Structure 1
Amino acid sequence: MTIERTDRPIIAITMGDAAGVGPEIIMKSLGHADLYARCLPVVVGDAGRLEAAGRILGARLAINRLTAATVDQALGVAGTVDCIDLAVIPADLPFGALSPIAGDGAFQFIRVATKLAEQGKIQAICTAPLNKEALHAAGHKFPGHTELLASLTGTEEVSMMLTTPNLRVIHVTTHIGLIDAIRKIEPGLVERTIARSYAVLETAGLARRKIGVCGINPHAGEHGLFGHGEEEDKIAPAIAACRARGWDVEGPLPADTLFFRAGRGDFDMVVAMYHDQGHGPVKVMGLEAGVNITVGLPVIRTSVDHGTAFDIAGTGVADERSLLEAMRQAIDLAPPRRSA
C-alpha cells in the first residue's frame, strides 16, 4: 500500500564529503522509485555536485533546489531529487582528493540537517560518509559524525550502534586509541551503554531483549589469567547493576565466541568495549549490509557503515546498498510527522 504524502517521514540525507562517493550513492539510491512510497527524502548538500554525480552515472534525475526555509516545498516524487542547496562546493572540485572545502561542506550539511530535525521539520537524518582528515583540515576538530552530532545537539554522551540483518553491536568507546579506551572504560559508562542498548531493543518492540557484553582481554580475562583484572573491575559491576533491574544481560564474555553466538541468534545485542572489537565482525559480514546508528541523540540519525572511498570516487562504481539500508532504518525509527 502506498503511504500518503502527508504521512511519509521526511528524511534528510546529508551529502557528506563532496570529494567522496556520497553524491554518487545518493543519486543511485534516489533512483529507486520504491523508496518514495515510504518516505520523502530531502538531500542537504550541494545541487551542482549532485548534478555532476548524475552525469557520471548517466542518471535521469531532475534536481529541485530548495532552502532550509522551503523544505516544506519538497516534491517527494520519484525522478526528482529534492535538495536543500547550500551551494558551497566549487564546480571544479576534484573527486577523490582530500579537500578542506569538502570537509567544511560536510560540516555545514550536518549543521543544517540537525537544526531542521530539532525544529521538527524533518523526522530523521541519514548521513553519507565524511572524511575525518578533511573535516579537521577545515577546522572542525571532531573524530567523526557521532561526536559532531553530539556537540551540535548539546548531548553529553551517545553511543555508536552498528546493525546488519543478523547482528546489533553497540560500543562503549569508539574513536580513541586502544590504551585510551581501556583507561576510559569504567562501570558507570558500561552500565549507561547497556541501558541505551536496552532502550533500543525496547523501542524496537522485541519481546526478548537478551544482551551479551564483551570482555576486554582474550577469553574475557579467564579469571585473571590475562590482563590486570579489567573485567572484574570495569565490566562486572555494570552487568550486576543491570541484572538488578531485571534485564537479561550476560557477560563479560569472550568476544570471539560472543559474536558467533550473536550471529546465530543467541543474543539481540552485543556490547563491544572498543572500536575494532565491534566494527570488525560487522564489516566482515559486508559493508553493503551495515548501518551506523547514533543512540542517545534527541534526533534520529543513521548512516552508511563505510567511508568516503576516495579511490573509486567519481567513477560511478560505488555501491548504494548500505545507504538504502540506512534509509530504511531511518524510516523505521522516525517519529510521526507533525501536522502542519
Structure 2
Amino acid sequence: MGKVQVIAVTSGEPAGVGPELCLRLAERNVMASGVRLILLGDHQLLAERLAQTGARLRLREWDPRTPSEASALEVLHMPLARPSQAGTLDPANSPYVLGLLDRALEGCVSGEFAAMVTAPVHKGVINDAGIPFTGHTEYLAEKTNTAQVVMMLAGGGLRVALATTHLALRDVPDAITPQSLECVIRVLYAEMGRKCGIAQPRILVAGLNPHAGEGGYLGREEIEVIGPVLERLRQEGMQLLGPLPADTMFTPSMLAKGDCVLAMYHDQGLTALKYASFGNGINVTLGLPIIRTSVDHGTALELAGTGKADPGSLFVAVDQAIEMAARAGATAQRA
C-alpha cells in the first residue's frame, strides 16, 4: 500500500456552518482510497456543534503515529480566542480563523498534508477585527509569495476562472492590463494540465464590455488589451477562443467548444456557474505551490447550529482535493 495522503480541512468561521459541515465528513469513506482527513478547529466547538446537530460520531485528537478509525473524525485542536455561539460573529475570533489557514498552509508546504480544503470564512468580521482581508485566494497568495494566482470555480459541468477577483466593479477595467491578463492565462493554461489533467486546454475568454465591445462602440478593452494578448498567446500554440460576448458565452453550443471559461470579473462568470451548480460547486486556487480547494458558498449564519446546511459543496471540494493530490503524487513518482 502506498503512502497515506493526509488532507487538512479548515473549519472556517466558528459562528457559521463550517464546523458542522466538517462534521458531516464522517459520511465520506475516504480511507479506502488511502486518504486521511484531518479537521482543523477548536475541539470543544466541534463537540458542541456535534451535540446541537445530533450527529452520532466520535471526535479524537489527530496523531499521525496512530491509525485512523472509521468511527471517529480526527481533529487538530486549535483553540478559539473566545467561546463561539452559532450565528453570532465575534471579531475576537478572527485571528483564530486565519490561524487555521496558516497551520494548514504550513502543513502543505512542509509535506505533512497533501492538500488543504477550506470551509467558509466571513470577510466582514475579519476586517472588523482590524485585519485587512479580501479572501482566501489573496491571503494564500501573499503567504506563499505567489505573484499570480487564479480563482477557478467548478461545478455543474463548468469550469470558470477569473481574470480579476474581489474588486469593486469600477476598478476592474484598470486592473486588466496586457501583463496581468497574459499572466492569468499562462497560469490557467499550465494548471489545467497539472491539477485538472487537461494538457492542452481549450479556453473560452470573455470580453469585458457588453457584446465584447461591439467593435469599439461599447468599449475598447477588447481591441486594445484582450484581443492582442489572445493573439500573441495563440502564436505559442494555446487554444484560446475570444474575446467572446459574455451574455452568449454560457450557451451549450459555445461551452462545448472549451474546457474552461475565463471571465473578466467576479459576477460575470460566477453568476452562471452558481446557477448551474450551487450547493455542489467548488473553488480551486490555481498557481499556488500547494493544492487548495474550497466550498463555493458563504458562512450561512442563519443556518449555523441547525444541522440543515447542505454539505454537498464540501464533499465535492474534498473529493477534488483527493484527486488532485493523487495526480500530483503520481507525477512526482514519474519525475
Q: How does 1:115-126 map to 2 (within 5 A)?
A: 115-126=106-117
Query: Which residue does the alignment assign to 1:85?
Result: 77
Question: CA offsets, 1:231-250, max 9 Å, x none?
Answer: 11121121012101111101
Query: Which residue does the alignment assign to 2:40?
Result: 44
Cα displacement (A) at 1:165: 4.1
Question: CA offsets, 1:185-212, max 9 Å, x none?
Answer: 0111111111122112222333652111
> Retained in 2: the 8 A contact 1:61–1:81?
yes
Cα displacement (A) at 1:75: 3.7
Provide the identity percentage: 38
CA distance in 2, matches of 1:195, 1:206: 14
Cα displacement (A) at 1:139: 3.0
> Retained in 2: the 8 A contact 1:262–1:268?
no
Give the residue type in structure 2 aligned to 1:210: R
Runs of 4+ in structure 1 over 6 Å off:
none
Gapped regions of structure 2 (runs ≥ 5): none
Q: How does 1:53-202 map to 2 (within 5 A)?
A: 53-66=49-62, 70=63, 72-73=64-65, 75-88=67-80, 90-91=82-83, 93-202=84-193
TM-score computed with the length of structure 1 as normaliser: 0.91
Query: Which residue does the alignment assign to 1:321?
Result: 312
Cα displacement (A) at 1:171: 0.5
Cα displacement (A) at 1:101: 2.7
CA distance in 1, matches of 2:151, 2:225: 20
> Retained in 2: the 8 A contact 1:170–1:193?
no
CA distance in 1, matches of 2:28, 2:192: 30
Count of residues paired in the alignment = 328
Query: Which residue does the alignment assign to 2:224?
Result: 233
Residue aligned with 1:311, SS: helix
Of the three residues 244, 247, 257, the one matched with 1:253 is: 244
> Retained in 2: the 8 A contact 1:259–1:281?
yes
TM-score computed with the length of structure 2 as normaliser: 0.93
Of the three residues 295, 302, 314, the one matched with 1:311 is: 302
CA distance in 1, matches of 2:311, 2:143: 27
> Retained in 1: the 8 A contact 2:123–2:135?
yes
CA distance in 1, matches of 2:316, 2:197: 19
Residue aligned with 2:26, SS: coil
Cα gap change, 1:85 to 1:261, in 2 (>3 Å): same
Cα displacement (A) at 1:327: 0.4
Cα gap change, 1:262 to 1:316, in 2 (>3 Å): farther
Give the residue type in structure 1 aligned to 2:22: I
